[in-house]
Amino acid sequence: MSSKDAVLFFLKDKQGDFVSGEDISRSLSLSRTAVWKHIQSLKDDGYIIEGVPRQGYRLIKLPDKLLPSEIRYKLKTTLFDKKIYYFNEISSTNKIAKNEAAKGSPEGTLFVAEKQVKGKGRLGRKWVSPSGGIWFSMVLRPEISPIDASKITILAGIAVAKAIKGETGLKVTLKWPNDIFIDGKKVAGILSEMSAEADKVNFVVVGIGVNANLSLSVFSEELRDKVATLKELLGAEVDRVALFKAILKEFEKVYLSLNEDSFEKALSEWKNLCGMLGKRVKISTLTEEIEGEALDINEQGSLLLKLFSGEIRTIYSGDVVIKK
């Protein structure tokens, strides 16, 4: 932990009570000047810290940012104790995560942005990502075969759904392969991108975007009735840091279970959250449009579609529209 984080965590642990500079300096073995410098730097980050002669310092307000130190505070995960890259603004967290992963970033490295100017969806689509959302990517190095890579998106979907439910109480449903819905509107999306050789995955970058504290007015008219944001649904802002940490915790749980080869359990969780199995769907793949009944998700994370002819097709990727 950096000494700046140590000062911050010390203040946070005091829960708004005063603590003297001397106390901080003694407890953390830092000089008084170092403590003072860290306090100034925390103020520059947007923390509101009151300093009163003879009483000391107290933390009054946290910045509304997804700062690495906020994410790390009391984060009990082993997967995500690595480096967290933080950007006020970036093209796309997936893009930079892929670059860094190719250079060797370890599993669990995170890339977080307040705002993306070239946020990506699948197949070159745009992902609207202004300030107020949760936009991040994680580097994973799963020991799985490339044909099993869809499993990772399934696991991320479970994590996001459970975290949103846990933090807001809202009922979330999943749509294969990467959509997170509330009341039939898309509230979050996942973009998994893989680098692999014939039988080995080098890395998977999982990008997650959650419409947390966004107004619907940031979306084009065309999108406005298809998307949801947590702020609009709740009529109040959500604690983005808490939600972010919940996603990391939930993801770690399911991801570690993948290594124990218990994907089946995760899959049944996914199915419980899924609003499309048994329904009539239209699927657009890169090459065709087909309709049928969404029968099941198989053990590789692919969709089994029952065509009207009775034939069962395995769909590896595509866009699903649920027919009424």
**Site residues, ligand BT5 (CB under 6 A):** 92-94, 116, 119-122, 125-129, 135-137, 178, 186, 189-191, 207-209, 211, 223, 227
Name the minimum Å distance from CB 251 to ligand BT5: 14
Output 94 or 109, the one with its CB closest to ligand BT5: 94
Output 101 or 227, the one with its CB closest to ligand BT5: 227
Output 69 or 94, the one with its CB closest to ligand BT5: 94
Neighbour-count burial for 65-85, b at 16+ CB within 10 Å, e otherwise: bbbbbbbbbebebebbeeebb
Q: Which long-range contacts (CB under 8 A, 24 or more apart) does 113-116 make?
A: 113/86, 113/87, 113/88, 113/89, 114/65, 114/66, 114/87, 114/88, 114/89, 115/88, 115/89, 115/90, 116/89, 116/90, 116/91, 116/92
Using alpha carbons, select from 205, 208, 172, 176 the residue that is nearest to residue 295: 176
Name the minimum Å distance from CB 230 to ligand BT5: 11
Name every residue whose Cβ is closer than 8 Å to that of residue 243 and which is 6 or more positions away in sequence: 134, 163, 164, 167, 168, 210, 212, 230
**What are the C-alpha distances in Å from 272 to residues 114, 170, 231, 245, 323?**
32, 15, 25, 23, 19
Output 209 or 292, the one with its CB closest to ligand BT5: 209
Name the minimum Å distance from CB 240 to ligand BT5: 13
Name the minimum Å distance from CB 318 to ligand BT5: 10
Name the minimum Å distance from CB 317 to ligand BT5: 10
The two structure tokens encoding residue 12: 């946070």
Nearest residue to ligand BT5, by Cβ distance, number only: 189
Q: Which long-range contacts (CB under 8 A, 24 or more apart) does 34-40 make?
A: 34/3, 35/7, 38/3, 38/4, 38/7, 38/8, 39/7
**What are the C-alpha distances in Å from 213 to residues 47, 96, 239?**
20, 24, 9
Name the minimum Å distance from CB 34 to ligand BT5: 36
Output 7 or 227, the one with its CB closest to ligand BT5: 227
Output 187 or 258, the one with its CB closest to ligand BT5: 187
Name the minimum Å distance from CB 174 to ligand BT5: 12
Output 223 or 290, the one with its CB closest to ligand BT5: 223
Output 201 or 227, the one with its CB closest to ligand BT5: 227
Name the minimum Å distance from CB 181 to ligand BT5: 10
Using alpha carbons, select from 183, 164, 312 the residue that is nearest to residue 246: 164
